[in-house]
Each structure stands twice: as C-alpha cells, then as structure tokens.
A and B are shown apart, each in its own frame.
Chain A
C-alpha cells in the first residue's frame, strides 16, 4: 500500500515515454530531450517557488529587524540585518513557549492513546474471535463516517457535562482513539500471516503475549503511521481547541497564534515569528520521516 514504494519500483523500469515527444519512446526510454528536461525542471522550480516560497517569505519576515521596512516595493527577500529579536518579543507578548509546551503535551498524549488504543482494538477486531465482533467493527466504520465538524457542539456540551471543558484533557479526549486508526491497525493485523501466532499459541503463549511479542512488532510500520498522523493532527488542530479552551493560559499553539493575530495584527514580524515556531517542529519531523507521511496518505485515503 505504500505510496512511495511505487514510484520507486518505476525506477527499475524504463521511464515513461516523455509526454511531449512521441518519437522518444525507444526501448529503454533513456533519450530524454534536453529541452524537455529543461522545461520539466523549469516547471518544477516554478511550483517549488509557489509551495515553499511562502514559508521562506514568512521566515524572512520573522528575521527582519524593527528598523527594516517589511513593506518595501520592490520586496526585499533577504533580511538586511537578520535578528532573532522578534522571537524574543513574541515570547514577551504571549507565553508562546507555554503554548508550545501545551501543544506538545496534547500531541504526545494523542500519540500514546492512539497507538495503544488503536493497536488493542485493531487486534481484537482482526484476530480475536468473539460474539459481537462484527458489531464492534461496524461501530468504528460508522464513527469514521461521522463528520466531526457536525458534532462539535455536542462534543462541547459533553465535555461540559464531564467538567472537562477548558482543560487539555478535554482537548485530547474526543480524538484519543480515532476510528480510522483502529481500522488501519485492524487491516495491518489482518495482513499478517496467522501461522506465526499459531506457533506461539501452540507453545502456550496467551493472548497478551501473542499480541505484544508477536503481532505488534510485525505491524510497526503502520503503528508509526498512526503515531505520526496522531502527532500532526493534534499539533495542527484548530477548531476543536478553539471551542473547548477559553482560558488563555491553557491555549495550544494554534489557538495562541490566532489570539496573537487577532490582538497584534498590525505587527507582522511578531506573527511571522510565531508561525515559524509553530511550523518548524513539524517540518523537521516531516524531513526525517517522509516515508511514513506518504504512506499514511495512501492508507488513509483508501479508508477515508
């Protein structure tokens, strides 16, 4: 199911016939016209400027000092005198590091609960035979189809009833074992050959041992996908924390940024510094673990 694997297998095969020049389709497809290659790279660079450029512009703005004109025309892409001053100032304006820590707590909790909860439930759905398994599977499928935006008010009243509104626990709870992740884990366990577990079973391993020592290590890849998407989902989430958190001291980073933007909208350097603080960890994570990000898109889309 891995998306990145597929382009990779294509590497061993001769590449596709170049789209623009039908005559270049020789057996190995190696003759790619220079102009065609140049055009391709030109287009790629154009899209690169469009997709990554805005982030770099934001970074550049965040590094420009108070005396530098950020509105100049023609625009200046590089700060003339790069400074981290704005990052200090944003921390003086809002408790940005506390917010980052809150986001980290929420994201870490979301990772742990999703990995544990989804692995356990997925294993139960895939491997254990019991009455009501079909019903349990159906429950998760139905839950996956419910649009979260449509139940957000009822989730909020539920949190109020539990006395958990305006707490970080309340932020984590509704998504702490997502149905999509349960079904992803179920599929991963279903794809494992049964024989290994059977052998352990004959050797007298009980269900926990089979789960923990045999099945779980075999689905590490999917578990990593679940972990990464749980982290990203919680770190990036906006609507739910916006609704459930009202006390500025409990804000997560995204809500804090929205607050900063609303209150100090005229200071673009500050907002820029804040957004860079929010986005840098995820870009770093993505740079290290790209494979799992792409794989998650493939698996999530097939289910979702």
Chain B
C-alpha cells in the first residue's frame, strides 16, 4: 500500500481544494465514468453470478427450466450422493498432497538459485517456464511422459522395473496429477520466496555460522523463521488453488474422472453437473456453495494455525 501522505489531498493548500471543487462542478460524473467499465464488469460477471449461485442452490433450476424454490433439498441430496463425497475426498486429498510440497520445495529451490553465481538468471528463468505454459499443454505433456509406453516407463524398464500404470490406477492418477500441479507451481512460488529471502538479514546467517550451526540447523532456525509469513502466504494460496483443482485431473483421468468417476474432484463435478442442455444448475450451485465454504475455511485455518504458532 502507498504511504498515507500520498493518498489524499488533505495536506495540500487551499488552491487545490478550491480547484478540486471547481473541477467537480465542471465534471460531476467523471469519477463514475472512469470506474464504470470496471464496476459494470465486476458487478455483472462476478458479484451477480456469486449471488445467483447462492440463490440457485436453493432451487431446482436447470439450464432450460427456470426452476422453483426447493429449500434445502439440494443440500440434503448432497449428503446421499456418493459422487459428491468422492469429489470432496479427492479435492481434500489434493490439498493434503500438494500443499506441503508447494510450501517446502520452492523454498529449497529459491535457496538454490538465490546466490548470484554465473548463469543463475538463466536457471531462474528456466525454472519458471512451466508456470508460463497453459495447464492443458502441461497436462498433455505429462500424459505422454507417463503413458504406459512413455518416457518415464521406458526409463523404468531400463532400470528393470515393470511399466507402472500411472494413468490407469485410480490412486496413481491422482498422485500423478498432484505431481503435475507441484511441477507447474514450483517456479511461481520460487519467485515469491526469492523476494522474501532477499529481506533476510545476512548477519543472522553469519552469526549462526560463527556459533557453529550447520546448514540444516541454519535453515531451520534462521531461514524458516525469517520467511515464515511467506510460507503462510504460500500455504494459503496453494491450498485454495489445490482444493479447486480441475484441469490436471480432467486431462489425466479423462472428463469422467476415470471409468467409474472415482477420480472426480468437486469442481469437475460442478462442471459435469451444471453444464450442457440438461445441466442441473441448482444442484451444481449447491456443490459450488460447498466449494466456497471449504475455500474460506481453508484460508481461516491456515491463518489461525499461523497465529497459534506465533504466540
């Protein structure tokens, strides 16, 4: 945020004040004209859909049928819908699998590229490349790499291990998708950590080194405490993103989430239930509401864990 002295004309002389008043008289609507496109788009395509999602979740609306108020029926149905529980389980597992890796690995990567040795800018940029690529490109690259006859399996074969069904076993698919998410996110969070590491006072490391602390010890008692708030930020960002996972699993398990849908995530279920001409908009909205609630809960959980640790 900007320094407070720049935010308003409060401290300036009377010339400005009267002039401001004069301009306001001349162009009474210009501030709203400036803000209008942004407000219009945000209102029509973010806030209105948000409200209508909440409203629709209490109706039996379909794509072509307006629908009526049905109270909590959708939520009651959710409780007995196996596919919903599968989705909730997979999305939750995704958070548990992806977040620890995305909090820790990019930090180690940032430490690796932090020092300015020759060629380091090349490495930093190269490590960022997966972030730039579309998730579809990334997903398809890994579908090919993890194919029954793909590169990973042919290397495994050379090492004497049989082909692994990365894309045929229910759990291996989910695990592979998590690996892809981590792979794509590494560079992004690395850059966030690099900025945080640059603010760690060098003296701390030196003092610890003088005291005879080894590398691991210094990582745990100097680096980690110094970048803790960034780790919390990364945990919050990545857990929310992980819970809403769609593309990776959609591409690796197929649109149906595997033969019997056992790899379906919640957002995949929303997409499958709510779209098309027979889409059950009301029911999909109820699932969306669950996505909202869990997302907000995850944020609060991370922030709360942070505060507890601090005290």
Interface residues of A (CB under 8 A from B): 3, 6-7, 9-11, 13-20, 22, 25, 32, 37, 40-41, 43-44, 47-48, 50-52, 54-55, 57-58, 61, 71-75, 113, 116-118, 120-121, 123-126, 128-130, 133, 136, 139-140, 142-143, 146-147, 149-158, 160, 173-177, 179, 182, 187, 190-194, 198, 201-202, 206-208, 211, 232, 235-239, 242-243, 253-254, 257-258, 261-262, 268, 271-272, 274-275, 278-279, 282-283, 285-287, 290, 293-294, 297-298, 301, 304
Distance in Å from the Cβ of B234 to the closest Cβ of chain A? 8
A73 B129 Cβ-Cβ under 8 A: no
Least CB separation from B285: chain A residue: A153
Distance in Å from the Cβ of B273 to the closest Cβ of chain A? 8
**Mask of B195-226 contacts with A, CB within 8 angstroms, 1/0:** 10011001001100110111100110000000
**Additional A-B contact list (10), CB under 8 Å, known A16-B115, A179-B38:** A6-B194, A51-B187, A129-B31, A139-B39, A146-B46, A149-B270, A153-B279, A154-B53, A177-B41, A301-B192
B154 A254 Cβ-Cβ under 8 A: no
For the complex, give the distance between the alpha carbons of A15 and B219 in Å: 17
B12 A198 Cβ-Cβ under 8 A: yes
Distance in Å from the Cβ of B112 to the closest Cβ of chain A? 6
Question: Which 7 A-B pairs give the minimum distances between C-beta atoms?
Answer: A121-B38, A6-B198, A190-B2, A154-B49, A236-B134, A153-B274, A124-B34
Interface residues of B (CB under 8 A from A): 1-2, 6-9, 12, 15-16, 19-20, 23-24, 26-27, 30-32, 34-35, 37-39, 41-50, 52-53, 56, 63, 109, 111-117, 120, 123-130, 132-137, 140-145, 147, 149-151, 154-155, 157-158, 183, 186-188, 191-192, 194-195, 198-199, 202, 205-206, 209-210, 212-215, 218-219, 233, 237, 240, 244, 246-247, 251, 255, 267, 270-271, 274-275, 279, 281, 284-285, 288-289, 291-292, 295
What are 25 A-B contacts with C-beta separation under 8 Å? A7-B124, A20-B215, A25-B206, A57-B141, A57-B144, A61-B144, A117-B37, A120-B37, A150-B289, A153-B53, A157-B52, A177-B42, A179-B38, A194-B6, A194-B9, A207-B27, A236-B136, A238-B136, A261-B143, A268-B147, A279-B133, A282-B132, A290-B125, A293-B132, A294-B128
A282 B133 Cβ-Cβ under 8 A: yes
Secondary structure at the A interface, as helix, strand, loop or mixed, is helix
A6 B195 Cβ-Cβ under 8 A: yes
A190 B247 Cβ-Cβ under 8 A: no
For the complex, give the distance between the alpha carbons of A3 and B134 in Å: 23
Distance in Å from the Cβ of A6 to the closest Cβ of chain B? 3
Q: A3-B191, A158-B52, A298-B195 are in contact. Are A153 and B288 (CB under 8 A)?
A: yes
Q: A13-B202, A153-B275, A286-B128 are in contact. Are A128 and B34 (CB under 8 A)?
A: yes
